[in-house]
Amino acid sequence: MTINIGHLYYDLLNLYGESGNIKALKNYFEEQNIKVNIKFITIDDKINLDDIDIIYIGSGTENNQKIALNHLLKYKKEIKNFIENEKFAIITGNSIELFGKTIITKEKKYNALNIFDYNTNSLDFRIVDEALFKSTLIKDHIIGFQNQNSIIKDIKENNLFEVKKGIGSYPKSQTEGYHYKNFYGTYLIGPLLVRNPKLLEYIGNKIIKFKNNNYKIKKNVLILEKKAYNSFINNYYDEYK
């Protein structure tokens, strides 16, 4: 079995080393004796999603985000079909904004992909904080870092995380992120899958079963990653356990 990952805008949207999420996925699949093919796609390339199992888009500057958006809009229908067909999209940082209706800055209103029914508004200040969230996907807390100067106010359902510490989709919100079918979108950076091995394991296993429901998945992997996670939780968030 081979899993094909499309790393979109690897050169533009990798502001906080978010390519670490791709490395984490690749490592996990290879631990399961699965071949991994990573297709690096940017604005000079044509996007063909026919043989892609996962798309990943990371965080970038506001300027690079708009450059990527301009290219991605050409493939709006293909991206929507990709998501509706229950293929996997892992979206971190401000790239979650690309999938809503609009991105509104002080200077301009941008039309986004309009796949999901939410809007983004820029802030006069920047949200910078360590975050601790909960999820219905796994029992472990989700850890990550927030560094954003925009918010999403219109997510009324399909939330990905519940806020325990940090900021939600907007200040005072108790939820964060967006989850629909196999679309996982969050402002959290970190990289997210490196810092949360149980989440990596959960999503990775779903992808494997999507490709081959009878594939035998090895359980005792990500041992060092889980030790690092537990050490961080014990040192900084013990009171939330």
Which DSSP string corresponds to 71-108? Answer: HHGGGHHHHHHHHHTT-EEEEEGGGGGGGSSEEE-SS-
How many domains does the chain contain in total? Answer: 1
- Which residue in the block uniquely carries the two structure tokens 């604005």? 43
SS3 18: coil
Q: Each residue of 34-48: pLDDT tens digit?
A: 999 999 999 999 999
Q: What is the pTM of this model?
A: 0.96
pLDDT of residue 181: 97
pLDDT of residue 241: 65
Taking the mean position of all CA atoms in its chain, how far away is CA 146?
Answer: 13
Q: Each residue of 121-149: pLDDT tens digit?
A: 999 888 898 999 999 999 999 999 999 99
Nearest to 236, CA basis, from 189, 175, 166: 166
Q: Identify the bridge partners of residue 186 per DSSP, sorted by sequence position.
A: 92
Q: Each residue of 16-66: pLDDT tens digit?
A: 889 999 999 999 999 999 999 999 999 999 999 999 999 999 999 999 999
**Tokens, residue 237:** 């968030």
For residue 115, is pLDDT > 80? yes
List alpha helices for the chain, DSSP H: 20-31, 62-72, 76-84, 192-195, 197-211, 223-236
Asked whether 89 and 184 are in contact (CB, 8 A), the reply is yes
Report which secondary-structure segment, H or E, holds 120: strand 119-134
Pick from 115-119, 153-157, 194-198: least confident: 153-157
CA pseudo-torsion sign 84, 42, 14, 197: positive
CA pseudo-torsion sign 126, 128, 132, 136: positive
The parent domain of residue 28 ranges over 2-240
Which CATH number covers residue 128? 3.40.50.880
Pick from 71-80, 116-125, 151-160, 208-217: least confident: 151-160
- Which residue in the block uniquely carries the two structure tokens 């996007």? 47
Cβ-Cβ contacts under 8 Å for 110 (sequence gap 6 or more): 66, 69, 102, 103, 104
Pairing label, strands 142-152, 161-165: unpaired
Nearest to 200, CA basis, from 44, 25, 42: 25
